[in-house]
């Protein structure tokens, strides 16, 4: 076979390169099928694992319970039968040699192993035939491996159906030895159309006559041209060095793992301590939070009570405000009514005052047009002079004031005497003066002075009518202390009064 025709290299897990030889012959098949009788471990010394990793599927038959469970766990897409294989179906006694691949149905071998110090456990297991196993697979079976520790004849005896795997690999020596025992059962294989094409020192490789094209692949032993790799899991001696290195790596990994575990434990311990410390702080914080929540509930209760009080007070205040608003509305209406009445009254008083003002104005106009108003013009002139004198220096002012008083008194006396002589003036003047009580009092006092009477006498409202008699011309002589200009003025007034009396 040309090197270029070889299938892709594999990693070998088998004890004596069985998987390398079978892969060289059958590796060109994409999804083949197999039957492994006496499969044992799913990895250590496994013939089928390399094929399973490349997509092949099949049936494993293993009577030891521990190995069957491991196969079920790691080969979930394969069929695993925990049973022995024999000439006919049934139940049989089986001897498990623990932690080895030497388990057997032969009691003599089991006793020998026990005498050598191995642990042997007697089991009762079901038994099936090859024909029953072949029925579990549809289609071609590309290889069949039989490793049953000297029970090969019984296994082949249960193969009577038409199924013919392409290659049969069968252990051909005594357990843990090199003596060949294939003469016990080889004739049965030959009778079923198989031909021995290769012997590797432990197993015989038999090819069915319908697949002679596989003969060239089974001429030479495994070699560098197969480009396979060792997994290091085989129990064969050629893997001891690799296994030793693997063991060293395993120990190193164990040391690293232990160190990592110690570091993780230390970290976890520190974390636990920190967690406990934090838990203590958390407990403290939780207590504080609980206290705060209790205080908050107390404050909330007090606040709610206060809010209830405030709402009640607000309701009372609102009622009072509403009542005050009604009272203010009523008061506003009352005040507005009173203001209207007051304004109406003031308006009426204003109208009355205006009427009185008009009357007084008319009277003043009549008085201004009267003879008496014209007669008193000099007197008003003197009064204006007196007001001007107020603005003069003090001594001159006082002198002028005294002079003005005397002149005024003299003029008033003359005026009163002139009015006394004229009945019409007398009646009109008295009527006018009586309208103003203050003026009436002063005129009465001036009249008393003019008539030589006591000016401090109490004056009633009829004083002028009762006592003001006699003509103004009867006034006595003028005071001597009157200035010359004042004397001339009084003389004119007296002459004017005399002319009015004669008229």
The residues spanned by each domain of the chain are 3-235, 238-343, 372-502
Q: How many CB atoms lie within 10 A of CB 463?
A: 18
pLDDT value, residue 186: 96
- Is the domain 3-235 a CATH 3.40.50.150 member? yes
- How far is the CA of 313 from the CAs of 235, 236, 305, 375, 400, in angstroms? 98, 102, 12, 83, 80
Q: Can you tell me the distance from the alpha carbon of 324 to that of 331, in angstroms, rounded to the nearest whole number?
A: 10
As a dihedral over the C-alpha atoms of residue 388, residue 389, residue 392, residue 395, rounded to 10 degrees, the angle is -170
3-class DSSP state for residue 352?
helix
Angle value at C-alpha 156, between 152 and 160, nearest 5 degrees: 175
Angle value at C-alpha 15, between 198 and 212, nearest 5 degrees: 25
State the number of CA atoms in the 13 A half-sphere of 338 facing the CB: 6
Q: Can you tell me the distance from the alpha carbon of 257 to that of 239, in angstroms, rounded to the nearest whole number?
A: 25
Q: Can you tell me the distance from the alpha carbon of 459 to that of 471, in angstroms, rounded to the nearest whole number?
A: 21
**What's the pTM value of the predicted model, to 2 decimals?**
0.51
Divide the 503 residues of the chain into consecutive groups of 10 and give the mean pLDDT of each group.
61 94 95 96 95 96 95 96 96 91 88 91 95 95 94 95 97 91 95 97 97 96 92 72 70 83 84 83 85 84 82 84 84 81 78 78 74 68 64 63 68 67 64 65 64 51 46 49 61 58 50
**DSSP 8-state assignment for residue 468:** -
pLDDT value, residue 449: 58
pLDDT value, residue 370: 72
């Amino acid at each position: 076979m040309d090197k270029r025709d070889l299938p892709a290299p594999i990693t070998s897990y088998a004890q004596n390169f069985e998987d390398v030889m079978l892969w060289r012959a059958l590796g060109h098949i994409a999804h083949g099928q197999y039957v492994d009788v006496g499969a044992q471990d799913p990895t250590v010394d496994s013939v089928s694992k390399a094929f399973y990793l490349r997509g092949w599927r099949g049936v494993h038959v293993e009577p030891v319970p521990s190995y069957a469970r491991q196969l079920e766990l790691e080969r979930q897409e394969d069929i695993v039968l925990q049973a022995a294989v024999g000439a006919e179906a049934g139940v049989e006694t089986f001897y498990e040699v623990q932690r080895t691949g030497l388990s057997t149905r032969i009691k003599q071998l089991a006793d020998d192993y026990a005498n050598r110090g191995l642990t042997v456990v007697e089991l009762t297991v079901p038994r099936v035939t090859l024909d029953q196993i072949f029925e579990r697979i549809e289609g071609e079976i590309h290889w069949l491996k039989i490793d049953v520790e000297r029970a090969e004849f019984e296994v082949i005896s249960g193969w009577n159906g038409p199924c013919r795997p392409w290659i049969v690999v069968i252990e051909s020596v005594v357990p843990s030895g090199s003596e060949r025992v294939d003469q016990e059962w080889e004739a049965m294989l030959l009778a079923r159309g198989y031909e021995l094409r290769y012997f590797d020192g432990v197993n015989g490789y038999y090819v069915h006559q319908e697949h002679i094209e596989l003969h060239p692949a089974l001429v030479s032993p495994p070699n560098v041209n197969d480009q396979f790799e060792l997994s290091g899991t085989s129990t064969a001696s050629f893997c001891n060095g690799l296994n030793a290195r693997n063991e060293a790596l395993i120990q190193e990994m164990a040391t690293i793992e232990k160190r990592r575990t110690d570091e993780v434990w230390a970290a976890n311990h520190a974390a636990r301590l920190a967690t406990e410390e934090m838990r203590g702080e958390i407990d403290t914080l939780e207590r504080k939070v609980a206290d705060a929540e209790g205080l908050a509930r107390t404050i909330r209760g007090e606040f709610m009570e206060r809010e209830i009080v405030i709402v009640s007070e607000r309701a009372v205040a609102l009622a009072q405000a509403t009542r005050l608003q009604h009272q203010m509305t009523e008061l506003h209406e009352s005040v507005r009514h009173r203001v209207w009445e007051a304004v109406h009254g003031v308006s009426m008083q204003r109208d009355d005052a205006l009427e009185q003002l008009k009357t007084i104005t008319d009277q003043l106009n009549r008085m201004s047009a009267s003879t008496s108003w014209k007669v008193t013009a000099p007197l008003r002139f003197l009064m204006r002079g007196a007001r001007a004198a107020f603005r003069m220096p003090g001594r001159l002012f006082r002198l002028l004031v005294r002079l003005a008083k005397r002149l005024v008194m003299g003029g008033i006396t003359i005026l009163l005497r002139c009015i006394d002589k004229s009945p019409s003036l007398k009646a009109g003047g008295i009527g006018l003066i009586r309208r103003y009580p203050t003026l009436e009092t002063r005129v009465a006092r001036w009249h008393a002075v003019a008539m030589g009477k006591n000016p401090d006498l109490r004056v009633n409202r009829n004083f002028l009518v009762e006592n003001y008699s006699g003509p103004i011309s009867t006034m006595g002589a003028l005071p001597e202390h009157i200035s010359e200009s004042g004397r001339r003025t009084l003389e004119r007034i007296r002459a004017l009064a005399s002319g009015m009396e004669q008229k």
